[in-house]
Amino acid sequence: MKQEEKILLYWSGEADPKLISEVKQLLQSDSSAREYYDELLGLHEQLNDINIPDRRPGLLDEVLEEGVAADFPERTGKKQTSSQGTGWIRWKGWAIAASVTFLAILILTWSPQDDKPTSVAAPSPENQIEKPEHRDISATKKKTSLSQRMLSKSSLFRESGKGLANSRKERHRWGRKRLRKQNT
């Protein structure tokens, strides 16, 4: 390696310990080597003094805004299928569970058992409370009569044409009315 190359590597901080000690000795003993090194330092200083015009602010932000907006949808897609695979399965599981629950509720609501007296009383909290005074005969009577009442009013619901929600509401309203009547 030539002498100037050794000095250049020393100046740039790339010399290994062996080369560092070699160049240090050279700089002390050889005036031309010392001069070469000083010239490098001087030149570096002068070049750093060159004033570069100020650049327009926000150059980087502009790039980041447009670049990230363009890149992320693609990366998000990859993320869902690869690195976040378990998360995707979890969400799918929740969706299936929710669908099953909804279907179960729907089936229970529309079940033919609706017409039976025992299942009619179940959804209403008021009907679930078993009052001691009505425990025996009156409970059976209440359920039976409620069912009968419902059947008898079914034509009204068909007439209103508002569907299931309306019919259930009506049934509960009639149930509550009947309970109050019985209690009094």
Q: Which residue has tokens 């229970």?
A: 108
Quickly list DSSP for 129-181. Answer: S--GGGTTHHHHHHHHHHHHHHHHHHHHHHHHT-HHHHHHHHHHHHHHHHHHH
If binding is defined by CB under 8 A, does position 9 make contact with other proteins?
yes
HSE-CB at 117 with a 13 A cutoff on CA atoms is 11
In the bound complex, what is the minimum distance in angstroms from residue 87's beta carbon to other proteins?
13
Q: Which residue has tokens 């008021």?
A: 126
- What's the first-to-final CA gap in the chain, in angstroms? 113
Residues in 142-181 that interact with other proteins by CB under 8 A: none
Task: Record the tokens describing residue 91, joined without a space.
Answer: 């969400």
In the bound complex, what is the minimum distance in angstroms from residue 43's beta carbon to other proteins?
6
Return the residue of 18, 29, 31, 61 that touches other proteins, per CB under 8 A. 61
Write down the H helix ranges in 84-136. 85-110, 117-121, 125-128
If binding is defined by CB under 8 A, does position 115 make contact with other proteins?
no
Residues in 82-101 that interact with other proteins by CB under 8 A: 83
If binding is defined by CB under 8 A, does position 19 make contact with other proteins?
no
In the bound complex, what is the minimum distance in angstroms from residue 27's beta carbon to other proteins?
16
Length of the chain: 184
Residue number with CB closer to other proteins (56 or 181) = 56
Task: Record the tokens describing residue 59, joined without a space.
Answer: 């150059």
Burial class of residue 119 (count of CB atoms within 10 Å of its CB; 0-12, 13-18, 19+): middle
If binding is defined by CB under 8 A, does position 53 make contact with other proteins?
yes
Residue number with CB closer to other proteins (46 or 183) = 46
* C-beta atoms surrounding 3 within 10 Å: 13
If binding is defined by CB under 8 A, does position 126 make contact with other proteins?
no
If binding is defined by CB under 8 A, does position 56 make contact with other proteins?
yes
If binding is defined by CB under 8 A, does position 63 make contact with other proteins?
yes
In the bound complex, what is the minimum distance in angstroms from residue 94's beta carbon to other proteins?
23
Residues in touch with other proteins (CB under 8 A)? 2, 4-5, 8-9, 12-14, 39-40, 43-44, 46-53, 55-56, 59-64, 66-68, 71-72, 75-76, 83
